[in-house]
Structures are given as structure tokens and as C-alpha cells.
């Protein structure tokens, strides 16, 4: 059991997320089951509106299941109250967004420090940790800059640093290169695969670009209309 | 989230919307200032009234009268007149021996003619006990007080002195003759005779105000002499006829004794002791109690009116924070995504509200202090120019009021933050992150 818990980073068991839109019920995620082993670099593919982002938000603990079960690093998300989910977001998962989502009024260092504040990390050693991460993404000289003073690629690298600051077991990336040009996109992807290889962090990346998925991800999940499409190459 | 992080983030957020937050803080400051100014006025007025009453010596004084006194005549009284004793010299000695009693003096008032430079002036004469000097009952003496309890010296009201000299100050040190009616025991039992006498006095000082804050019978006299001197003169007094009818012949009786205690704490005790001796006793403790009630009500109304401005200011806080929640919707989503709990978000908005309340409160106390000073200054200008009254401190900001105002401002601000904070905490992170 514990063997399997460690071996499996993400497990979905008939996970569903439905919501009402006017009279209609939207099945954003519908009866989805899969597992992703620890240390995997997985890609979640599908056209827009297929439910990829909803699934990612569920895994990030930002949204709640309608039915079924989701477990991440041994945490059963359906059983958690909002306080436990907040703790889970702090310590277990890191999230990267297409639009970076840095706080515009804060410097990069402050943005990277933000999760440490919520995690109540000791104040001593915080700035070292922030600088260490900014160094690892090549932004140590930009620490005191505001996000608006940086390129998209730099902003996304800062966002990756922020996602990693509390040493999560799982990194969830929602179209991380969607707003970047090819060169910056490649830089970010290289950074993510290096992280995956060097630190063993499990990565689940949402993308609509099959080429990107084929190039970096060892496991691929395909979604359409809220459901997982079986037997596509790469799905286990 | 740790408190230090909380307030760092709150401070940062407030600096990002500097103008809006500054205006809100100013609103709170004005609210607190109005509260502090009105309350300090209430407290100042209460202190002023207390000072006036203290000056009058009222709280330290018990007035003793015989129950036979016309003023106390009560046909339904349970005790018969012959059981109602006269106030005699012996009574006086017994009261003087009571614990806490400092001085027992009769109230001596008489009409007399004052002759200055050969010019007679008909006026009212009264005895002033020596204790009046110690108790601040006689204010602003130009010249000096009596040199001793038996001195042949007088103090004049300034208005009266104006009748004697064009510059009233010139009368000080001059001598004056008082022509008065002296009561002497008559030859027959139960009679007395009245004789006209003259006695020379030195004017030692001028009074600008009525002694005892104008609250005693003797306050309205124009010429004051030491009570002991007045007693020795056997001045014919208005109540003498009454005494003649009622008193045991040959015995000196008093219509009223003024008993002065070392402190107001003895008043009740002395009053009870005097009542047990079967005399009427009256003190101003009851009046003081009702005065305190009056000021409690006044303070409450002043507080209510003063806090109105703060209530308005609290609406500004609600508005500012609701705007901030709308504006920072995405930021709240980001914070939740990186691990903020609902409670963290809520506390962040509380911290911002409390910070605004604290800064506004401190500024407001300072502002209120200045407004209070201005009111005091203006009030005094009015008092001295229009009513020719001396300067008074009508206004007081005790430390507790300043502290209470700041605490109140913070409490009201946090209360105003309740709704915006709850709204921010409730935000759905997925929706908020989509918000542009």
C-alpha cells in the first residue's frame, strides 16, 4: 500500500466535475480515471473546452469534485476541508499558469516569497531560499524588478521559481508556453524537464500542442468533451 | 500566516492604493477627532463644574439648622417643637468635637453703613471664615486675605469699591468705619436692646468674584470681615427676633452653623451625627450625585454625536475595502493558488482595516486635541471679552480618552472590514484567476 502510494503521484478514480450553466448541466470533467507515477513528466492534451484546465484545477485543490476520487501524493482531495486544501496547495503542489499570474505590484523576490509567507516558513533563511530559486531559473539579477519590467519568458521562469519554493512533490503547469514565443517557450520547457530529471518532481502539463507533448512528456493523456480518450499512443 | 507577514502584506497593499487609503484614513481621523473633541469638551465641562463646586467648599460643608427654624417648620412633623432643640454654644462645641470637623462657624450677615472718606454707603456685611482662604473659596484677591481670624480687616467686592473710589485699587490699605447695630442683652428677662456702634477697619483687599462660587447666602454681601470678629461685634441679625421669641433667655443661640470638614469624605458621617442630635443637616452630596448623573447623560450624548462622524468614516472603510476586493480579485486568486487559505485572505483584509483604523485613530486624537485647544481658546476669548469672566480650562483630553479613541477607531474599522473581508475570503479562486 505504502509502496504504491509512493509510486503513484496522481490517481483519478471516476473523477467528475459538473456544474450548472443556466438550465444545462456542463460535464467539464466526466468520469475520468488514470494514474501518473511519481517522477513522471506527463502531458494532458486536448482542444480548448475539453476539460483539461478544470481537471488541473481539481488537482491543484482550487476546485472540488462533483463525484469520484482524486489523490495526489497520497492526499485524498475529496476528503479535505478548505483549510486542509490550502495546506495541500502550499506544500504538495506547485502551479504554473499560461498567463504567469505574478502579482504585478510585487518584485520578483516578493512574488517568490509569497508562498513561504502562507506556509509560515521561518523568516530566517527565507531570502536565501528565494535567491537560490531565482538563481536556479537564471533571474537572480532581476530579483528587485517588477513583473512588468520582464519578458514573458522571464516572468514564467519566475513563476516556476515561485511554484517550487515550498518544495512540492507535484508541479501542475497549465499551458506554460502558451503565451511565449518559440525561443522562450523552449527555454521554459528545458527548465521543466531539467527539474523533472534532477529533482524527481512529478510534472503534469496541460497543452494543446501535440509536438510539445511528444518532445518532453513520457506519458500523454488526451481529453475531449470532459472525457479521457483511451488507447492513444502514450497513455498507460 | 504569521502576524508580521500579514501586516507586511497589508502595508504593501495599502501603499499600492495610496491616495484612496490616505483619504479613507483622513476620514477616520476626522471621525476620531470629532469624537475626541466632543468628549474632551464633556470631560472638561465636568471638571470645570467639579472645580466650581470644590471651590465653593460645598462638598466639605454641612449646614446645620434647628428644626424650629421657620424654613423647616412642618406641622406634620413627628417630633413636637419642644423636643426640637436650639443651636447653642454647647451644640457648637459638640459638633466641633466630631471627627473630621475642621471649623464650625455661624453665618453672620447684617446690614450696615460703611463710611469711607466721610461718605456713607448702606450695604450688606458678612463674616468670612478663616478656612475660606485655604480652600480656594475666595479667588483672585487683589491685596491680601485677613491677617488673622480676629483681625479688624475687611475685604470689599470690587464693584462696591468702585462706589468709593474711581480707581478701586486705591482703597486698599485705607481705613473705613462701619456703623452697625449691636444686640445687647436687655435689662428684663427675655428682652434685648439694639445699639448703634461704630468700628474702624482696614481694607486689605478687593474681591473680583463672589466667595464660595456665589453659592452661599453670604456670597452676595459687599463687605466681608472675619467671622470671629463679626461674632464679637454681636451684630443684630435678621433671625434675632425669631430667636428672642423661642430661645431660653440669656443663652446665645444660632440660626445656622456652617460645619467645615477636613475632606468631603466626612460629610455623610457628620451629617448623620448632627441629625442624631436632632438638628437639621444639609450637604451638597445629593446635589453632587445628581450632577454626576447629569454629566453621565451629557457625556453619552456627546459620545453618540461624536461617533456619528466615525460611523460615516467606517462606511468609507467599507467602500475602500470593497473596491480593493474587486480590484485585487485576481491577486486574491493567485494568493489562494499559492497556498493562502480563506482565513488568510480574510485576515489580510482585517489587517488592512485595522491599520487604517490605527493610523486614522492616532491622527484623529492629535487633530481632536488641536480642535479641543481651539475650542478652548475661542471659548475663553468669548468668556473674557463678552462676559468678562476669567480664563477656564473647558476642555480636557485625558490619556485614557486618547487611548480609548484609538482602540475604538481600530474596533470600528475591523467591524467595517467584516463584510469586505468575508467577501474576499469567499472568492472562488478559479473564477478569480480567470478575471482580467
> What mean pLDDT do residues B9-15 have?
90
> What mean pLDDT do residues B15-25 have?
90
**Residue A120 is nearest to which of B1, B9, B338, comparing CB atoms?**
B1
Grid coordinates in use for A225? 468533451
CA distance B104 to A85: 83
User: Across the A/B interface, how many CB contacts are shorter than 8 Å?
Assistant: 72
> What mean pLDDT do residues A7-12 have?
91
Question: Among residues B400, B101, B406, B404, which one has the least CA distance to residue B273?
Answer: B101
Would you say residue A132 has pLDDT above 60? yes
Q: Which residues 326-355 of B have a C-beta within 8 angstroms of A?
A: 330-331, 333-344
Would you say residue A113 has pLDDT above 90? yes
Our measurement of the distance from residue B247's CA atom to the centroid of its chain's CA atoms, rounded to an integer in Å, reads 41
The predicted pLDDT at position B212 comes to 74
> What mean pLDDT do residues A72-81 have?
93
Question: Mean pLDDT across chain B, nearest whole number?
Answer: 83
> Cβ separation of A90 and B1 shorter than 8 Å?
no
Grid coordinates in use for A47? 482542444
Q: Measure B295 CA to nearest chain A CA, in Å.
A: 51
Measured N-to-C along each axis, helices B342-386 and A82-91 cross at an angle, to the nearest 10 degrees, of: 110
**Residue among A51, A56, A90, A103 with most chain B CBs within 10 A, to mutate:** A103
Would you say residue A134 has pLDDT above 80? yes
The residue among A126 and B136 whose pLDDT is bigger is: A126
> Cβ separation of B334 and A166 shorter than 8 Å?
no
The predicted pLDDT at position B312 comes to 86
> What mean pLDDT do residues B335-362 have?
94
The predicted pLDDT at position A3 comes to 46
Would you say residue B428 has pLDDT above 80? yes
What is the pLDDT confidence band of residue B243, given thresholds at 50, 70 and 90?
low
Question: Among residues B216, B209, B265, B242, which one has the least CA distance to residue B59?
Answer: B265
The predicted pLDDT at position A147 comes to 95
The predicted pLDDT at position B286 comes to 64
pLDDT tens-digit readout, B95-108? 888 888 888 888 88
The predicted pLDDT at position A235 comes to 44
Domains of chain A with CATH codes:
38-62+81-220 (3.40.50.300)
The predicted pLDDT at position B136 comes to 62
Would you say residue B250 has pLDDT above 70? no
pLDDT tens-digit readout, B363-387? 999 999 888 888 888 888 887 887 7
What is the pLDDT confidence band of residue B283, given thresholds at 50, 70 and 90?
confident
**Residue among A48, A80, A86 with most chain B CBs within 10 A, to mutate:** A86
pLDDT winner (highest mean) among A50-59, B272-281, B285-294 = A50-59
What is the pLDDT confidence band of residue B74, given thresholds at 50, 70 and 90?
low
What is the pLDDT confidence band of residue A137, given thresholds at 50, 70 and 90?
very high
What is the pLDDT confidence band of residue A1, given thresholds at 50, 70 and 90?
very low
CA distance A153 to A179: 9
The predicted pLDDT at position A198 comes to 92
Question: Mean pLDDT across chain A, nearest whole number?
Answer: 90
pLDDT tens-digit readout, B210-224? 777 666 777 788 899
Q: Which residues 302-331 of B have a C-beta within 8 angstroms of A?
A: 330-331
The residue among A12 and B52 whose pLDDT is bigger is: A12
Nearest Cα residue in chain A from B331? A103
| Secondary structure (H, E, C), B174-212 | CEEEEEEEEEEECCCCCCEEEEEEEEEEEEEEEECCCHH
Our measurement of the distance from residue B278's CA atom to the centroid of its chain's CA atoms, rounded to an integer in Å, reads 33
A219 contacts A43 by C-beta, under 8 angstroms: yes
The predicted pLDDT at position B251 comes to 67
User: Which residue carries 475595502 as its cell?
Assistant: B321
Is A75 an interface residue toward B (CB < 8 Å)? no
At A34, is the secondary structure helix, strand, or coil? strand
The residue among B240 and A51 whose pLDDT is bigger is: A51
The predicted pLDDT at position B424 comes to 93
Cβ neighbours of residue B159 under 8 Å, at least 6 residues apart? B222
Is A48 an interface residue toward B (CB < 8 Å)? no
The predicted pLDDT at position A193 comes to 93
What is the pLDDT confidence band of residue A189, given thresholds at 50, 70 and 90?
very high
Q: Cα–Cα–Cα angle for A103, A109, A112, nearest 5°?
A: 65
At B377, is the secondary structure helix, strand, or coil? helix
The residue among A99 and B243 whose pLDDT is bigger is: A99
The predicted pLDDT at position B139 comes to 67
The residue among B177 and B57 whose pLDDT is bigger is: B177
Would you say residue A106 has pLDDT above 50? yes
Would you say residue A172 has pLDDT above 60? yes
**Residue A83 is nearest to which of B2, B12, B341, comparing CB atoms?**
B341
The predicted pLDDT at position B84 comes to 67
CA distance A115 to A126: 11
Lowest mean per-residue pLDDT among A1-5, A160-164, B126-130: A1-5
**Residue among A26, A59, A108, A118 with most chain B CBs within 10 A, to mutate:** A118
pLDDT tens-digit readout, B169-204? 888 888 999 998 888 776 666 677 888 888 899 999
User: Complex ipTM, two decimals?
Assistant: 0.92
Would you say residue B263 has pLDDT above 50? yes
pLDDT tens-digit readout, B294-337? 888 888 888 888 888 888 888 888 988 898 888 889 999 999 99
Ramachandran sector of residue B103 (left: φ over 0; alpha: ψ -120 to 50; beta: rest): beta
User: Which residue carries 445699639 as its cell?
Assistant: B195
Would you say residue B152 has pLDDT above 80? yes
The predicted pLDDT at position B417 comes to 92
For residue A88, CA distances in Å to A37, A44, A60, A118, B329 come to: 19, 22, 8, 12, 22
Work out whether strand B153-157 and strand B223-226 pair parallel, antiparallel, or are unpaired: antiparallel
Q: What are the strands, taking DSSP E only, across B41-159?
A: 61-65, 87-88, 101-106, 109-116, 119-128, 141-143, 153-157
Classify each residue of B156-179 as buried b or exposed e, where b means 16 or more C-beta atoms within 10 Å of its C-beta: bbbebbebbeeebeebbeeebebe
Would you say residue B80 has pLDDT above 60? no
Q: Which chain B residues are within 8 Å of A117, Cβ to Cβ?
A: 1-2, 5, 8-9
> Cβ separation of A120 and B2 shorter than 8 Å?
yes
The residue among B305 and A190 whose pLDDT is bigger is: A190
Is B134 an interface residue toward A (CB < 8 Å)? no
Q: What are phi and psi of B340, to 5 degrees?
A: -75, 135
> Cβ separation of A101 and B330 shorter than 8 Å?
yes
Amino acid at each position: 500500500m505504502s509502496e504504491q502510494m509512493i509510486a503513484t503521484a496522481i490517481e483519478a478514480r471516476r473523477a467528475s466535475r459538473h456544474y450548472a450553466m443556466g438550465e444545462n448541466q456542463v460535464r467539464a470533467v466526466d468520469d475520468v480515471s488514470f494514474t501518473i507515477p511519481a517522477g513522471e513528466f506527463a502531458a494532458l492534451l486536448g482542444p480548448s473546452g475539453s476539460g483539461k484546465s478544470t481537471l488541473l484545477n481539481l488537482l491543484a485543490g482550487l476546485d472540488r469534485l462533483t463525484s469520484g476520487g482524486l489523490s495526489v501524493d497520497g492526499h485524498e482531495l475529496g476528503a479535505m476541508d478548505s483549510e486542509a486544501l490550502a495546506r495541500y496547495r502550499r506544500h504538495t503542489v506547485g502551479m504554473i499558469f499560461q498567463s504567469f499570474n505574478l502579482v504585478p505590484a510585487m518584485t520578483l523576490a516578493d512574488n517568490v516569497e509569497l508562498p513561504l509567507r502562507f506556509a509560515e516558513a521561518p523568516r530566517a533563511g527565507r531570502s536565501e531560499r528565494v535567491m537560490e530559486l531565482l538563481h536556479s531559473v537564471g533571474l537572480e539579477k532581476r530579483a528587485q524588478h517588477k513583473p512588468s519590467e520582464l519578458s514573458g519568458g522571464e516572468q514564467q521562469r519566475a513563476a516556476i521559481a515561485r511554484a517550487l519554493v515550498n518544495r512540492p512533490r507535484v508541479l501542475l503547469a497549465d499551458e506554460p508556453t502558451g503565451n511565449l514565443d518559440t525561443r522562450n517557450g523552449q527555454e521554459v520547457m528545458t527548465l521543466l524537464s531539467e527539474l523533472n530529471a534532477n529533482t524527481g518532481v512529478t510534472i503534469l502539463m496541460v497543452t494543446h500542442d501535440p509536438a510539445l507533448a511528444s518532445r518532453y512528456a513520457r506519458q500523454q493523456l488526451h481529453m475531449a468533451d470532459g472525457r479521457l480518450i483511451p488507447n492513444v499512443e502514450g497513455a498507460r | 500566516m504569521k502576524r508580521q507577514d500579514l501586516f507586511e502584506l497589508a502595508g504593501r497593499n495599502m501603499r499600492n492604493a495610496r491616495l484612496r487609503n490616505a483619504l479613507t484614513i483622513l476620514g477616520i481621523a476626522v471621525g476620531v477627532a470629532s469624537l475626541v473633541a466632543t468628549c474632551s469638551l464633556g470631560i472638561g465641562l465636568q471638571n470645570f463644574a467639579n472645580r466650581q463646586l470644590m471651590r465653593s467648599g460645598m462638598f466639605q460643608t454641612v449646614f446645620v439648622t434647628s428644626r424650629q427654624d421657620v424654613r423647616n417648620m412642618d406641622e406634620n412633623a413627628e417630633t413636637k417643637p419642644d423636643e426640637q432643640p436650639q443651636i447653642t454654644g454647647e451644640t457648637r462645641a459638640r459638633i466641633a468635637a466630631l471627627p473630621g470637623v475642621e471649623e464650625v462657624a455661624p453665618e453672620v450677615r447684617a446690614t450696615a453703613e460703611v463710611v469711607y472718606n466721610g461718605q456713607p454707603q448702606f450695604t450688606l456685611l458678612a463674616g468670612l471664615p478663616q478656612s475660606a482662604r485655604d480652600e480656594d473659596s475666595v479667588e483672585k484677591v487683589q491685596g491680601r486675605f485677613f491677617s488673622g481670624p480676629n483681625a479688624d480687616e475687611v475685604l470689599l467686592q470690587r464693584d462696591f469699591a468702585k462706589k468709593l473710589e474711581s480707581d478701586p485699587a486705591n482703597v486698599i490699605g485705607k481705613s473705613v468705619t462701619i456703623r452697625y447695630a449691636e444686640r445687647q442683652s436687655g435689662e428684663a428677662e427675655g428682652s434685648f436692646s439694639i445699639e448703634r456702634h461704630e468700628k474702624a477697619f482696614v481694607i486689605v483687599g478687593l474681591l473680583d468674584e463672589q466667595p464660595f462660587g456665589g453659592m452661599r447666602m453670604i456670597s452676595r454681601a459687599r463687605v466681608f470681615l472675619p467671622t470671629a470678629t463679626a461674632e464679637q461685634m454681636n451684630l443684630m441679625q435678621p433671625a434675632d427676633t425669631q430667636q428672642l421669641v423661642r430661645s431660653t433667655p440669656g443663652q446665645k443661640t444660632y440660626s445656622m452653623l456652617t460645619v467645615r470638614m477636613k475632606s468631603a469624605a466626612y460629610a455623610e458621617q457628620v451629617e448623620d451625627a448632627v441629625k442624631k442630635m436632632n438638628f437639621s443637616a444639609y450637604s451638597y452630596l445629593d446635589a453632587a450625585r445628581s450632577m454626576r448623573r447629569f454629566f453621565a447623560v451629557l457625556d453619552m450624548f456627546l459620545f453618540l454625536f461624536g461617533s456619528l462622524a466615525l460611523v460615516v468614516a467606517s462606511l468609507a472603510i467599507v467602500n475602500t475595502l470593497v473596491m480593493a476586493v474587486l480590484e485585487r480579485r485576481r491577486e486574491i486568486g493567485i494568493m489562494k493558488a499559492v497556498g493562502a487559505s480563506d482565513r488568510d485572505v480574510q485576515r489580510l483584509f482585517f489587517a488592512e482595516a485595522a491599520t487604517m483604523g490605527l493610523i486614522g485613530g492616532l491622527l484623529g486624537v492629535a487633530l481632536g486635541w488641536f480642535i479641543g485647544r481651539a475650542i478652548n481658546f475661542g471659548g475663553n476669548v468669548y468668556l473674557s471679552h463678552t462676559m468678562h469672566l476669567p480664563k477656564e480650562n473647558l476642555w480636557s483630553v485625558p490619556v485614557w480618552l486618547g487611548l480609548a479613541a484609538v482602540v475604538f477607531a481600530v474596533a470600528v474599522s475591523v467591524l467595517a472590514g467584516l463584510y469586505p473581508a468575508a467577501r474576499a475570503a469567499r472568492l472562488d479562486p478559479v473564477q478569480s484567476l480567470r478575471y482580467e
